[in-house]
Amino acid sequence: MATRNEEILRKPEWLKIKLNTNQNYTGLKKMMREKNLHTVCEEAKCPNIHECWGERRTATFMILGAVCTRACRFCAVKTGLPNELDLNEPERVAESVELMNLKHVVITAVARDDLKDGGSEVYAETIRKVRERNPYTTIEVLPSDMGGSFDNWERLMNARPDILNHNIETVRRLTPRVRARATYDRSLEVLRRSKELQPDIPTKSSLMVGLGETWDEILEVMDDLRANDVDIMTIGQYLQPSRKHIKVQKYYSPLEFGKLRKIAMDKGFKHCQAGPMVRSSYHADEQVNEAAKQRQALGEA
C-alpha cells in the first residue's frame, strides 16, 4: 500500500505525455543514429521528445560526446570520463540541420571540465559550420559554465550565436545540493558576461521547480536574472529521472505556472515560457522570435 507521502507526490493528470511515433519521429531518430549524433532530448529523457520530434520536427543537438564530467542530482545524462573530441562533429551537426530544414536549432553539450577551454572552440566551430550551410537558421547555444573562464566565454560569444542560454537550474539555497561543481553566482556571472561581450544577443535561463524551493525564492531568482539583464526565462516542473536522482517535493499546477509567467513578464522579461512540461529548449523557436519582436518594439518606441 502506498504511503501518504507517495499519494501526495503521485503525478497529476496534467503531466501525462502524449506519444507520437509518426514518420517525423522515426525518421529523425534514424538520422541521428546514422550521423552518430546525440540529442539532449534522448540523453536527458525529455518528456517533450514526441511532440518536438513527431509534431514540430525540432531537436536539441548535444555536442562534445554523451558523457558528462559532472554528476548533477537532477540530470539523467551519463557521467564519467569523456572520450576524445570528435572534430568532425560540427560538420555533421550542420549537415543534419540542413537535411531537417530547421528554422531554429539549439546546440547544447555535456560539461567538459577535462578540457581547458571547456569545449568553447567546438561550440564556436559548430556555430560557424551551421551558419555556413544554413544562413537563415537561427542558432541557440546552451553551454555549461565552462569553468567560469572569461576567455572561454569570449571565444563562444565571438562566434555570435543568435541566443545564449545558460541555466540557473534552481534557487540559491538548493544549488549546492542539486548541481555539481556549478554555483549560483557563477551562473549569474556567465549570463552577465555574455551580455557584456555581445549586448545585442538575447540571453536566456531556465529554472526547475518542485525541488523544495519556496515561492519567494523563485521570485528572488527572477530578480537576480533581471539584475543581470537576462531577456528570456523558462520555468518547468522537475521530474525525477530515476530513483537515484533527487526526489520531487511538489508538483506545481498549471494555474501556479500561469501566475509565475505573469510575474516574470511584469518584472521585465521579454519572454517567459512557464508550464509543467516546459524545458529549456521547449518551443525555443517561439521564444527567440518573441524576444526579437520585443526588442524591435523597444527600439521603435
Question: What domains appear along the chain, each with residue ranges and CATH number?
Answer: 21-295 (3.20.20.70)
| Annotation: binding site for [4Fe-4S] cluster | 41, 46, 52, 68, 72, 75, 281
Calculate mean pLDDT across residues 61-87. 86
| Annotation: binding site | 41, 46, 52, 68, 72, 75, 281
CA atoms within 13 A on the CB side of 186: 15
- Give the mean pLDDT of the chain: 83
What single-letter amino acid sits at 86?
D
In percent, the amount of the chain with pLDDT more than 90 equals 53
pLDDT reported for residue 49: 55
- Please check the confidence at residue 8 and state whether its pLDDT lies above 60: no
Stated pTM of the model? 0.82
Reported as a pLDDT band with limits 50, 70 and 90, residue 122 is: very high
- CA–CA separation, 99 and 33 (whole Å): 14
pLDDT reported for residue 283: 59
Least confident span in 149-153, 221-225, 264-268: 149-153
Query: Which residues sit opposite 238 in a β-bridge?
Result: none
Least confident span in 102-111, 128-137, 165-174, 257-266: 102-111
Q: Is 50 helix (H, G, I), strand (E, B) or coil?
A: helix
pLDDT reported for residue 78: 84
Handedness of CA 34, 37, 42, 48 (dihedral sign): negative
Measure Cα distances from 78 to 75, 132, 223, 241 in Å.
Answer: 8, 31, 33, 12
pLDDT reported for residue 85: 87
> Is residue 248 packed enough to be buried (19+ CB in 10 Å), middle (13-18) or exposed (0-12)?
middle
Please check whether residue 181 is in contact with residue 113, taking contact to mean a CB–CB distance below 8 angstroms.
Answer: yes
What is the side-by-side strand order in the sheet with 38-39? Answer: 38-39, 60-63, 104-109, 138-142, 163-165, 203-209, 232-237, 271-275
pLDDT reported for residue 116: 93
Q: Is 234 helix (H, G, I), strand (E, B) or coil?
A: strand
228's grid cell: 543581470
Give the number of other Cβ atoms within 10 Å of residue 152's Cβ: 24
- CA–CA separation, 255 and 201 (whole Å): 32
Q: Is 207 helix (H, G, I), strand (E, B) or coil?
A: strand
Reported as a pLDDT band with limits 50, 70 and 90, residue 33 is: low
More confident residue, 176 or 287: 176
More confident residue, 245 or 192: 192
